[in-house]
Amino acid sequence: MSLAIISPGRDPQPWIDAIRKQNDQLEIEVFPNIQYPEKVEVALLWQHPKGILADFPNLKMISSMGAGVDHILSDDSIPEDLPIVRIVDEKLTWSMTNYVVMGVLNFHRQVTRYQQLKEDRNWDMSDPEIPVTIGVMGVGALGFDVLEKLDFMGFPVVGFGFSEKDDFPFPYFPKEKLDEFLKEVNVLVCLLPLTADTENILNKSLFEKVNPGTYLINVARGRHLVEEDLVDAISKGQLSGAMLDVYRKEPLPEDHPFWQNEGIFMTPHIASVTNPEAASPQVVENIRRLESNEPLMNLVNRSRGY
């Protein structure tokens, strides 16, 4: 069995080391220096060049290097019957929830505003806490954990998604009730998968429907957000600001307007980063299952997009 790691711009060595701890018999090649493409049966991908998988005539499985798979599903050249799996890691969930909680508390307790007041040497005790109701768009493993932890902290929470939910433990709005969902919240967290239905969902039309002063936290994908619409919504006061970890182009270009926008708090796609040591056992186990013709773990449903 031969595994190809295709992750331009990422250091593959931590993955190689972690996988070899699990299976030292596995042949591993790294893009672009793949000598025997005909031997490759498994591809481990992150932001691969579109169409590159056609070079591997005996490919039997694709594995994402993280929880997201939109970077794979956007490649129309991948055969429909080729199985795609992803990483599900409790540490990813833990890190993501901590990041979102940080953003909620920053807005709730006005940390950014007080930092500016410090720089201005302004002793202003007004509005130390802004009442918040948090709406989470996308209530899968990550979104559900965010709802659960914020609810435990005593914050009102509601969820939104593109499917019906039976016996959901929190208030929940399906896609046809998006407008009602938006009127319930003043902190909006995007954790949606990136699909045809969700791309560009954070746009001018949506921002015009939110409660004035709503705060946006986007930790899903950059292509969920129409970036110029966000700048406009902040300037008009429809949004009080935003906390962003993902962008349409990464790294963010030096001339991008977000750098100079005081209403946007930015981090460089670090909210939840896959740990190769934690993820490699899942990769190796799926290879074993593939060889044994057993059901694969964390198999992606292409029609849902995750």
- Give the active site residues: 221, 269
Q: What whole-number distance in Å separates Cα of residue 45 and Cα of residue 71? A: 9
Residue 263 CB neighbours (<10 A):
18
Beta carbons of 75 and 53 less than 8 angstroms apart = yes
User: Taking Cα atoms as reference points, which of 237, 223, 145, 228 lies closest to residue 186?
Assistant: 237
Q: What whole-number distance in Å separates Cα of residue 66 and Cα of residue 95? A: 13
Name residue 172's beta-bridge partners: 159
Q: What are phi and psi of 179, to 5 degrees?
A: -60, -40
User: Taking Cα atoms as reference points, which of 297, 303, 267, 271 lies closest to residue 284?
Assistant: 297
DSSP state string for 120-150: TT----S-------EEEE--SHHHHHHHHHH
Q: Are strands 40-45 and 61-64 parallel, antiparallel or unpaired?
A: parallel
Residue 26: partners with Cβ closer than 8 Å, 6 or more residues away: 1, 2, 3, 19, 20, 284, 287
Token representation of residue 195: 């699909």
Q: What whole-number distance in Å separates Cα of residue 221 and Cα of residue 67? A: 12
Q: DSSP assignment, residue 164? A: -
